[in-house]
Amino acid sequence: MQTIALTDNISSHTSEAMLSAAESKANELSVKMNIAIVDVGGNLKAFHRMDGAWLGSIDIACRKARTARLFDMPTSAIGE
């Protein structure tokens, strides 16, 4: 997978590839996910809701992606 610098904006092609990779990983884990990709400014670039994913987690996925971007780290690291 392509590495993207934090200052680079993300292309539509790259965001679609990221959605595909995330869905593949979710399928591997047998989990239905809402997947959000944001651009360098934290704006939604791409979104995919897998069939059967919880409706209530759409907003969570979008906010989590934006939070990760604004803090320049995975959201799992923010609580540490």
Enter the CATH code of domain 12-74. Answer: 3.30.450.150
Mapped onto helix, strand or coil, the DSSP state of residue 66 is helix
Span 52-71, average pLDDT? 94
The answer to whether 67 touches 76, Cβ cutoff 8 Å, is no
CA distance 64 to 72: 12
Write down the domain spans for the chain. Answer: 12-74
Q: What is the pTM of this model?
A: 0.82
Q: What is the mean pLDDT of residues 59-71?
A: 93
Least reliable range by pLDDT among 1-10, 32-41, 45-54, 70-79: 1-10
